[in-house]
Chains A and B, each alone.
Chain A
Protein backbone atom coordinates (compact mmCIF):
# COMPACT_ATOMS: atom_id res chain seq x y z
CA UNK A 1 0.00 0.00 0.00
CA UNK A 2 1.50 3.36 -1.01
CA UNK A 3 2.36 5.78 1.78
CA UNK A 4 0.65 9.15 2.21
CA UNK A 5 2.16 11.69 -0.22
CA UNK A 6 4.76 9.11 -1.15
CA UNK A 7 6.48 9.87 2.14
CA UNK A 8 9.21 7.63 3.41
CA UNK A 9 8.03 5.15 6.05
CA UNK A 10 11.27 5.51 7.97
CA UNK A 11 13.46 8.50 8.59
CA UNK A 12 16.19 8.94 6.00
CA UNK A 13 19.53 10.66 6.38
CA UNK A 14 20.89 13.12 3.86
CA UNK A 15 23.97 11.79 2.11
CA UNK A 16 26.00 14.57 0.47
CA UNK A 17 28.78 13.23 -1.73
CA UNK A 18 32.43 14.01 -1.04
CA UNK A 19 32.74 15.67 -4.42
CA UNK A 20 30.48 16.49 -7.34
CA UNK A 21 31.92 14.01 -9.82
CA UNK A 22 28.77 11.93 -9.54
CA UNK A 23 26.69 14.95 -10.46
CA UNK A 24 28.83 16.34 -13.25
CA UNK A 25 27.68 14.01 -16.02
CA UNK A 26 24.00 14.07 -15.18
CA UNK A 27 21.82 15.87 -17.66
CA UNK A 28 18.95 18.20 -16.84
CA UNK A 29 16.81 20.28 -19.15
CA UNK A 30 16.60 24.03 -19.42
CA UNK A 31 13.26 25.72 -19.89
CA UNK A 32 13.57 25.47 -23.66
CA UNK A 33 13.88 21.70 -23.34
CA UNK A 34 17.58 21.62 -24.16
CA UNK A 35 19.84 19.11 -22.43
CA UNK A 36 22.34 20.66 -20.04
CA UNK A 37 25.17 18.69 -18.49
CA UNK A 38 25.29 19.69 -14.83
CA UNK A 39 29.08 19.82 -14.77
CA UNK A 40 29.00 22.55 -17.40
CA UNK A 41 27.53 24.86 -14.77
CA UNK A 42 30.72 24.93 -12.70
CA UNK A 43 33.36 24.40 -15.38
CA UNK A 44 34.42 28.02 -15.44
CA UNK A 45 33.67 29.15 -11.92
CA UNK A 46 31.71 28.35 -8.78
CA UNK A 47 28.01 27.61 -9.06
CA UNK A 48 25.25 27.66 -6.47
CA UNK A 49 22.89 24.77 -7.15
CA UNK A 50 19.48 24.83 -5.52
CA UNK A 51 17.26 21.76 -5.61
CA UNK A 52 13.67 22.85 -5.06
CA UNK A 53 11.28 20.84 -2.95
CA UNK A 54 8.36 22.23 -4.90
CA UNK A 55 7.47 25.15 -7.09
CA UNK A 56 6.30 27.99 -4.89
Chain B
Protein backbone atom coordinates (compact mmCIF):
# COMPACT_ATOMS: atom_id res chain seq x y z
CA UNK B 1 0.00 0.00 0.00
CA UNK B 2 1.17 3.52 -0.70
CA UNK B 3 0.48 4.76 2.79
CA UNK B 4 2.66 7.85 2.55
CA UNK B 5 0.43 9.36 -0.10
CA UNK B 6 -2.42 9.55 2.39
CA UNK B 7 -0.36 10.33 5.47
CA UNK B 8 -2.23 13.54 6.20
CA UNK B 9 -5.57 11.76 5.99
CA UNK B 10 -4.45 9.22 8.56
CA UNK B 11 -3.10 11.94 10.81
CA UNK B 12 -6.34 13.88 10.46
CA UNK B 13 -8.13 10.70 11.53
CA UNK B 14 -6.15 10.83 14.76
CA UNK B 15 -4.06 7.70 14.35
CA UNK B 16 -0.35 7.23 14.59
CA UNK B 17 1.45 5.56 11.69
CA UNK B 18 4.30 3.11 12.11
CA UNK B 19 6.00 1.25 9.28
CA UNK B 20 8.09 -1.76 10.26
CA UNK B 21 10.60 -3.35 7.94
CA UNK B 22 13.30 -5.95 8.04
CA UNK B 23 16.99 -5.16 7.91
CA UNK B 24 18.83 -2.38 9.62
CA UNK B 25 18.12 1.31 10.27
CA UNK B 26 20.46 2.08 7.36
CA UNK B 27 18.38 -0.08 4.98
CA UNK B 28 15.20 1.66 6.08
CA UNK B 29 16.76 5.10 5.81
CA UNK B 30 17.88 4.33 2.26
CA UNK B 31 14.35 3.22 1.38
CA UNK B 32 12.85 6.34 2.96
CA UNK B 33 15.21 8.65 1.12
CA UNK B 34 15.22 6.89 -2.28
CA UNK B 35 11.44 6.42 -2.42
CA UNK B 36 10.70 9.74 -0.69
CA UNK B 37 8.60 7.97 1.90
CA UNK B 38 8.10 10.35 4.78
CA UNK B 39 6.67 8.04 7.41
CA UNK B 40 7.78 6.96 10.88
CA UNK B 41 9.83 3.85 10.20
CA UNK B 42 11.19 1.11 12.41
CA UNK B 43 13.18 -2.03 11.79
CA UNK B 44 12.85 -5.52 13.16
CA UNK B 45 15.87 -7.42 11.96
CA UNK B 46 14.93 -10.63 13.75
CA UNK B 47 11.29 -10.50 12.52
CA UNK B 48 9.94 -11.17 16.00
CA UNK B 49 7.09 -8.72 15.50
CA UNK B 50 6.24 -10.31 12.15
CA UNK B 51 5.80 -13.64 13.91
CA UNK B 52 3.87 -12.14 16.82
CA UNK B 53 1.55 -10.36 14.38
CA UNK B 54 0.80 -13.68 12.71
CA UNK B 55 2.23 -12.93 9.29
CA UNK B 56 3.31 -15.81 7.12
CA UNK B 57 6.20 -16.92 4.96
CA UNK B 58 5.04 -17.47 1.40
CA UNK B 59 5.47 -20.45 -0.84
CA UNK B 60 7.13 -19.91 -4.23
CA UNK B 61 3.74 -19.81 -5.96
CA UNK B 62 2.51 -17.23 -3.45
CA UNK B 63 5.53 -15.08 -4.29
CA UNK B 64 5.85 -15.54 -8.02
CA UNK B 65 2.52 -16.85 -9.29
CA UNK B 66 0.89 -15.23 -12.36
CA UNK B 67 -1.50 -13.20 -10.21
CA UNK B 68 1.34 -11.81 -8.12
CA UNK B 69 3.37 -10.89 -11.20
CA UNK B 70 0.39 -9.18 -12.84
CA UNK B 71 -0.55 -7.25 -9.72
CA UNK B 72 3.04 -6.24 -9.10
CA UNK B 73 3.39 -4.94 -12.64
CA UNK B 74 0.11 -3.03 -12.35
CA UNK B 75 1.20 -1.48 -9.07
CA UNK B 76 4.53 -0.44 -10.55
CA UNK B 77 2.77 1.26 -13.46
CA UNK B 78 0.24 2.92 -11.17
CA UNK B 79 2.63 4.11 -8.49
CA UNK B 80 5.80 4.52 -10.50
CA UNK B 81 7.64 2.43 -7.94
CA UNK B 82 9.91 -0.43 -8.82
CA UNK B 83 10.62 -3.06 -6.21
CA UNK B 84 13.91 -2.32 -4.55
CA UNK B 85 16.58 -4.61 -3.28
CA UNK B 86 15.22 -7.35 -1.11
CA UNK B 87 16.43 -7.03 2.45
CA UNK B 88 15.88 -9.72 5.02
CA UNK B 89 13.83 -12.82 4.41
CA UNK B 90 12.67 -12.68 0.76
CA UNK B 91 9.56 -14.79 1.32
CA UNK B 92 8.35 -12.99 4.42
CA UNK B 93 4.94 -11.41 3.83
CA UNK B 94 3.63 -8.32 5.58
CA UNK B 95 0.41 -6.99 6.95
CA UNK B 96 -1.48 -4.12 8.51
CA UNK B 97 -2.93 -3.87 11.98
CA UNK B 98 -4.68 -1.11 13.91
CA UNK B 99 -4.21 -1.28 17.66
CA UNK B 100 -5.91 0.82 20.27
CA UNK B 101 -4.79 1.50 23.85
CA UNK B 102 -5.25 -1.58 25.95
CA UNK B 103 -3.72 -3.74 23.21
CA UNK B 104 -7.06 -3.94 21.41
CA UNK B 105 -6.75 -4.96 17.78
CA UNK B 106 -9.55 -3.35 15.82
CA UNK B 107 -8.38 -4.10 12.29
CA UNK B 108 -6.04 -6.62 10.79
CA UNK B 109 -5.11 -7.61 7.25
CA UNK B 110 -2.25 -10.04 6.91
CA UNK B 111 -1.08 -10.78 3.39
CA UNK B 112 -2.04 -14.17 2.03
CA UNK B 113 0.32 -13.81 -0.92
CA UNK B 114 2.77 -11.25 -2.25
CA UNK B 115 0.06 -9.27 -4.03
CA UNK B 116 -2.40 -9.16 -1.15
CA UNK B 117 -2.48 -5.62 0.23
CA UNK B 118 -5.44 -3.69 1.60
CA UNK B 119 -6.34 -0.41 -0.06
CA UNK B 120 -5.58 2.86 1.68
CA UNK B 121 -9.31 3.58 1.71
CA UNK B 122 -10.05 0.36 3.58
CA UNK B 123 -7.41 1.05 6.21
CA UNK B 124 -8.36 4.71 6.49
CA UNK B 125 -11.99 3.79 7.11
CA UNK B 126 -10.92 1.43 9.89
CA UNK B 127 -8.58 4.07 11.32
CA UNK B 128 -11.39 6.60 11.53
CA UNK B 129 -13.57 4.06 13.31
CA UNK B 130 -10.72 3.31 15.72
CA UNK B 131 -10.38 6.98 16.60
CA UNK B 132 -14.04 7.35 17.40
CA UNK B 133 -13.62 4.91 20.25
Contacts and interface: CB of A to CB of B under 8 A. Distances in A.
Given A15-B54, A45-B131, A6 B91 contact: yes
A7 to B, nearest CB: 4
A23 B53 contact: yes
A56 B18 contact: no
Interface in A24-56: 24, 26, 28-33, 36, 38-39, 41-56
B71 interface: no
A52 B32 contact: no
A22 B97 CA distance: 13
A49 B42 CA distance: 10
B29 A31 contact: yes
Contact of B127 (A10, A29, A48): A48
B43 interface: yes
Given A7-B58, A30-B41, A55-B85, A42 B52 contact: no
A21 to B, nearest CB: 5
B73 interface: no
Nearest to A17: B54
Interface of B: 1, 3, 10, 14-23, 25, 27-32, 35, 40-45, 48-50, 52-60, 62-63, 81-101, 103-106, 108, 110-112, 114, 123, 127, 130-131
23 contacts: A7-B60, A8-B56, A12-B56, A20-B99, A20-B104, A21-B103, A24-B103, A29-B43, A33-B25, A42-B16, A45-B15, A46-B130, A47-B15, A49-B20, A49-B53, A50-B94, A53-B114, A54-B22, A54-B87, A55-B27, A55-B30, A56-B31, A56-B85
